[in-house]
Structure 1
Amino acid sequence: MTEQLLAGKNIAILVANGFEELEMTEPQRALLKAGAKPKVISPEQGLVNGWHGAAWGHYFPTDRHVGEVLAADFDLLVLPGGDRSVAKLATNPHTRRIIGSFVDSGKGIVAFGKGVELLALVERIKGRTVTGADSARAALEAAGAKWSDDEIVQDRFLLTAKSNEDMSGLIDAMLRNFTAAVEQRKVAA
């Protein structure tokens, strides 16, 4: 069922240098298996460098530059964590524009670990329940979000999760969230 519903769906994975490698590669792999078309969106040109454990990880090709992307080009959004990546994306005005458009349109968003902090930038999460890296809590609460200590939190089209080594539960929740978001958009159309 998931494979049919996500077939052909364009998924934006928004990262900058220093993103948590597993938080990008595991969702990307699962989305490809589900028939989706994940695209790496970044302020970096050509290649973006991941962070793995306590050191720099692999380089990955980027599909589109963040300045050339519209939320309307995509069905769903993935926000991996990583201190360096989140810090760089937080200073980019295109990040606010893209995430804000996803929130406004009610499209599915999944944010992992530190990537959850990017949701505070758009000032549209007041009253939403979220979880993520503990270091993101203050920014999210200041933006009006309700913090949860649960591993995974679903609030309508928004799925937030703490990061951990076993990504399987997070991936299953992401696929369910995206499938539900696609179904809801079909019903609304």
Structure 2
Amino acid sequence: MAQQLNGKRVAILAADGFEESELASPRAALQGQGVETHVITPDGKGIRAWAETEWGDTYEADKALDAANPSDYHALVLPGGLFNPDTLRINDKALAFVKAFFEAGKPVAAICHAPWILINAGVVEGRKLTSVASVAQDLKNAGAHWVDEPVVVDSGFVTSRTPKDLDAFNAKLLEELAEGRHSHQHA
């Protein structure tokens, strides 16, 4: 699979309070296959992780959201956590960035609470996906078909519930990235 992923670039959009494993694990899986990753933050500054029950490490940003162009990337990863998606879902630039990946048919992978961002971006209606259980009703109210499964793929759109599902999440992320654009991926 590494050869199929050679030359691919993936954006990881996050803000303070992302769940540390939900950024670190997918990034390591991508980089392990030779994929270039860029951590994109609202202001281009480092962001502080939430590590299950307390604040974790600070992760340096590769780019500010204003300097990031969705057309430069082959896929998007959205880590969860409580604070991170709550911040990004009210950031119009973040929502436009996310929506651009759907409009271009590019793979998008979101875990845990990250589907809050997708609700506000207007990209979940009619889509099958999963999330942490506490976001299920929000997704249903937005017109999504929510299921309680470790990982769900809907035309290049990968979702998982919690850090315990990261192995399945990472595997499907890599698979969808290798497949490339998906004609049924939509905003």
State the TM-score, normalized to the length of structure 2.
0.92
User: % of aligned pairs identical?
Assistant: 29
Name whichever structure is richer in helix by fraction: 1
- Deviation larger for 7-16 or 157-166: 157-166
Alpha-carbon distance in 1 for matches of 2:135, 2:70: 24
Match of 2:109 in 1: 110
Within 5 A, what are the aligned runs for 1:47-62? 47-62=46-61
CA shift for structure 1 position 138: 2.3
Count, aligned residues: 183
Q: Deviations over 1:3-62 (max 9, x none)?
A: 111112110001000000000001101111111101000114331111101100001110
Within 5 A, what are the aligned runs for 1:127-166? 127-165=126-164
1:16–1:44 Cα contact (<8 Å) kept = no
Match of 2:95 in 1: 96
Within 5 A, what are the aligned runs for 1:16-95? 16-95=15-94
1:81–1:111 Cα contact (<8 Å) kept = yes
Q: Deviations over 1:128-153 (max 9, x none)?
A: 10101112222222221111111111
Alpha-carbon distance in 2 for matches of 1:19, 1:158: 20
Q: Deviations over 1:65-121 (max 9, x none)?
A: 112222112110000001110111111111110111111111000101111221111
Alpha-carbon distance in 1 for matches of 2:98, 2:45: 22
- The 3 A distance-change label for structure 1 pair 143 and 55 is same
- The 3 A distance-change label for structure 1 pair 50 and 44 is farther
Letter in 1 for 2:131: G
- Deviation larger for 166-175 or 12-21: 166-175
Letter in 2 for 1:163: T
